[in-house]
Amino acid sequence: MQKNIFGFVWKYSKREQIYILFLTVLSFPILYYTLELPKIIINEAIGGTEFPQTVLGVPFEQIEFLFVLCGAFLALVLINGGFKYYINVYRGRLGERMLRRLRYELYTRVLRFRLPRFKRMSQGEIIPMITAEVEPLGGFVGDAYALPAFQGGTLLTYLVFIFIQDPVLGAAAIALYPLQAYIIPKLQWHVNQLGKRRVRAVRELSDRIGETVAGTQEIHAHDTSSYHLADAADRLGTIYQIRYEIFNRKFFIKFLNNFINQITPFFFYSIGGYLVIKGELSFGALVAVLAAYKDLSGPWRELLNFYQRTEDARIKYEQVVEQFQPADIQPEAQLMDEATFAGPLPQEVSFANVTYVEEGSIPAVEGLSMTLPLNRHVAILDAGGGGRDELLMMVARLLVPTSGRVRLGEHDMAELPEAVTGRAFAYVGQGPYMFSDSLRANLYYGLKHRPVAEVAYSADEEAARRRRIMEAEIAGNTVDDINADWVDHRSAGAASAEELSAQALEILSVVEMAEDVYRLGLNGSIDPAANTAAAENVLRAREAIRERLNGDGMDEALVELFDADRYNTSASVAENLLFGTPVGKTFAPDAMADHPYVLSVLAEVGLSEEFLRIGTEVAEMMIEIFADLPPGHEFFEQFSFISSEDLPDYQPLVARVRKEGTAALRPEDRSRLMSLPFKLVVSRHRLDLIVDTIQERILQARRAFAANLPEDLRGSVEFFDVTRYNTAATIQDNILFGKVRYGQAGSQDKVQALIAEIVDALNLRTTVMETGLDMSVGVAGSRLTSAQQQKLGLARAMLKEPEVLILNEATARMDAAAQQRIGDAIRTRFQGRGLIWGVHRAGMARDFDEVIVVRDGKLTERGSFSGLRDRTGSALSAMLEGE
């Protein structure tokens, strides 16, 4: 990368810069004529006497001549404006392309950083550099050469003019320029230094903010908010001081500039005046020079401003770029090289006198020489002092040795492209990272090396895509299509996408995550249009459940089924009235009492006053029960119909209703009270407010609601219909088509068991699990437990079908029994392939072909498990004893 922004600009936009310069020069004559024409209009059209005047061979009288000239002037103004518009757009586009290139280059470099670099450089530093800090550089790029040329040219023209009028005055005009040119950069240098400090300070601040977000749990657990506030205040104070000083100095430079500019007229008046009085200079010339000097200050100021902007841009560029050029950066070719291995993968990795040490710490691995077979199962144990993690990561080429060589067969691993190491090897650490995407995307992540199938675009899309490719090429970006199919199912040994999906489900059961995915899937939804057979199958499951629940035995009390003609006491009033699932916010439970259509339906069946009365009673009850609790108590969240902030507002409301009746209520208060009954669930809340007669009328309202629903609201609710798949509800709700009854011990578990039974009987499990695979894992996998994340990480690595699987305590967060079972399953699956497993307990090494024990970064012993165990004084036997 170029160390200097001008170098960067010149290297990637020579042609464009020259073109802009050319356009700028071209605009000078037009500019000149827009200045020249007014003179002609005044002197020759308005003040002229010789008519007719001939223009292009056509004779014109005075009035006509005036209009012709004015027309020409208008045309010139338009052309001049158009020129400027074109140049500005061109410059802007150039700037954006260069900014895109710069950001892309920086991002590429982030990918090329070696792992240890991220120990020294945090997210909080990297992100603002690529996003905010380089942003102003885009605007600068378009101006980099054109602006000084244009303003410099203008300045020169005026100076020449002044010198022609009088050399002495000319000399006076520029007398102070050398001074300015000397002092200003000196002063500016200090500002630049401050600018650098400011950039660093802001970067550190954003780093701290990032830490606060990441460590928020610790902050609250240890009551350290004040400490962090003080730290933030201190940093903000530093930034304030730097900025304040920058302002001081900047404005001082401005003051000095202005002063020097103002002092020049002093010379004009004194020297020029003296010359005029002495008769050595005409009065007219002095006026002309003064006018010219006034025009001179514009470009001069622009140039000085530009100088300051340049300095700003230069510092920003340098400060960013120096962070992105570490000496040990990975060569780009290593990431992008497509070369795969010719012939079979060598069967061993050899370490020759390998040392790995990180800056400023003790060596993690020291002088290690050994060979690791890649076709057997090896357990690596750490007897203390570390080194095992680094060793495993070097085998996976995630780290490269500080000295010595790690070789794969004959090849130096440090030289191999990632197309080899990232496909033949799979590494899973303790905390595999989950991308904020679906489970499926995370599982297939290891197969997305290169796009494998282009998207079939329509003609229009194709054209748009081609424009995007062109732009990407201009800015030096990759032209790989993110919308293409990146999942290479063949590299997982699957013949088709469907087979890959089946394989993924199978691997999920190996890591014991199938049940979790099934549960997720039950809470997901399918698109019946895209998946008709699955939707029909769900409906069959619904029928089967209904048969079971309507039959005799224990099941019928578990679920209260939806029935268009019956009030469902396990569902809320809102659900009973809607008799469907709200789509969007229109008929969401909280919004119902405010919706005019709902209110009109209630009025129609005579429920308005009843709801108001019930609402008042609920409010009264809530006040009685919850008024004594401290605000914000968790019970409000869990149980109350009214939040702790709103509760005090209800007290006077209820009092007013009790005193004056409901007629005195304001509309917004009515709506507040009306909203409460909607949340009532008869069998859960047991308040005896929604009595039989009210239930009867809610059923009437249900029918009226559906019958008269205006066309434009149809899309806001998906009605319960026993013969149709409900797209707005989850698969589980679709199968159940009812509500689990309250108050029956263990009913949730029994219902789950019943659903599972029917799902299996109808072969629905795959459908449900496929749906589960499409559920999001949340930000960085936040919706998964840490054990689930580990399982998914293992599944991801196994789905890739690597030739060598390297695990580093990859099951440590699971319970002991699961560790044993999953470990066995993985070993069976990798029979005949390489498995190198850094285990955290010595007992886990029992079933491996070979055991290696490291201590203090050195190999201490190696052999079969039983051999080492039975040798007296071996590290393994000592570790086994400790367990």
Closer of 353 and 748 to another protein (Cβ):
748
Q: How far is the CB of 700 from another protein (least distance, A)?
A: 24
Positive or negative, the Cα torsion across 867, 872, 874, 879? positive
* End-to-end Cα distance, the chain: 54
Closer of 200 and 684 to another protein (Cβ):
684
Helices marked H in 564-606: 573-578, 596-604
Angle at 601 between CA 595 and CA 606, to 5 degrees: 125
- Contacts for 725 with CB less than 8 Å, ≥ 6 apart: 526, 528, 535, 536, 538, 539, 734
Q: How far is the CB of 620 from another protein (least distance, A)?
A: 11
Closer of 17 and 616 to another protein (Cβ):
616
Closer of 481 and 620 to another protein (Cβ):
620
Q: How far is the CB of 623 from another protein (least distance, A)?
A: 9
In 3D, which of 506, 442, 428, 489 has the Cα closest to residue 835? 428
Q: How far is the CB of 658 from another protein (least distance, A)?
A: 17
Closer of 638 and 872 to another protein (Cβ):
638
Q: How far is the CB of 681 from another protein (least distance, A)?
A: 12
Closer of 55 and 625 to another protein (Cβ):
625
Closer of 552 and 628 to another protein (Cβ):
628
CB of 622 within 8 A of CB of 649?
Answer: no
* Phi–psi pair at 323, nearest 5 degrees: -70, -25
Closer of 460 and 634 to another protein (Cβ):
634
Q: How far is the CB of 813 from another protein (least distance, A)?
A: 21
Q: What is the residue-wise DSSP string for 513-571?
A: -HHHHHHHHHTS---TTT-HHHHHHHHHHHHHHHHHHHSSSSGGGTEEE--TTS--TTS
In 3D, which of 429, 452, 377, 425 has the Cα closest to residue 808? 429
Q: How far is the CB of 635 from another protein (least distance, A)?
A: 6
Q: How many CA atoms lie within 13 A of 118 on its CB side?
A: 11
Closer of 596 and 746 to another protein (Cβ):
746
Closer of 690 and 797 to another protein (Cβ):
690
Per-residue tokens: 650: 């209800």
Closer of 67 and 635 to another protein (Cβ):
635
CA 73 to each of CA 25, 64, 65, 131: distance values in angstroms, whole numbers, following the listed order: 20, 14, 12, 45
Q: How far is the CB of 631 from another protein (least distance, A)?
A: 15
Closer of 271 and 687 to another protein (Cβ):
687
Per-residue tokens: 445: 């992540």
Q: How far is CA 254 from the centre of its chain?
A: 41
CB of 772 within 8 A of CB of 517?
Answer: yes
Rounded to an integer, what distance in angstroms lies between the CA atom of residue 210 and that of residue 483? Answer: 31
Largest CA distance in the chain: 126
Q: How far is the CB of 584 from another protein (least distance, A)?
A: 32
Q: What is the residue-wise DSSP string for 299-352?
A: HHHHHHHHHHHHHHHHHHHHHHHHHT--TTPPPHHHHH-----SSSPPSEEEEE
Q: How far is the CB of 621 from another protein (least distance, A)?
A: 7
Positive or negative, the Cα torsion across 739, 745, 749, 753? negative
Q: How far is the CB of 792 from another protein (least distance, A)?
A: 28
Closer of 464 and 625 to another protein (Cβ):
625
Positive or negative, the Cα torsion across 628, 630, 632, 638? negative
Per-residue tokens: 881: 């004893």
Q: How far is the CB of 573 from another protein (least distance, A)?
A: 16
CB of 139 within 8 A of CB of 95?
Answer: yes
In 3D, which of 578, 680, 667, 681 has the Cα closest to residue 619? 680
Query: Is the peptide bond between 148 and the residue preceding it cis, with omega within 30 degrees of 0?
Result: no
Closer of 319 and 744 to another protein (Cβ):
744
Q: How far is the CB of 634 from another protein (least distance, A)?
A: 8
Closer of 410 and 688 to another protein (Cβ):
688
Return residues touching another protein (CB under 8 A): 554, 621, 624-626, 628, 634-635, 638-639, 685-688, 742-746
Rounded to an integer, what distance in angstroms lies between the CA atom of residue 626 and that of residue 642? Answer: 9
Q: How far is the CB of 684 from another protein (least distance, A)?
A: 8
CA dihedral 18, 24, 30, 34 (to 10 degrees): 180
Rounded to an integer, what distance in angstroms lies between the CA atom of residue 853 and that of residue 374? Answer: 17
Closer of 284 and 743 to another protein (Cβ):
743
Q: How far is the CB of 627 from another protein (least distance, A)?
A: 8
Per-residue tokens: 225: 């908010």
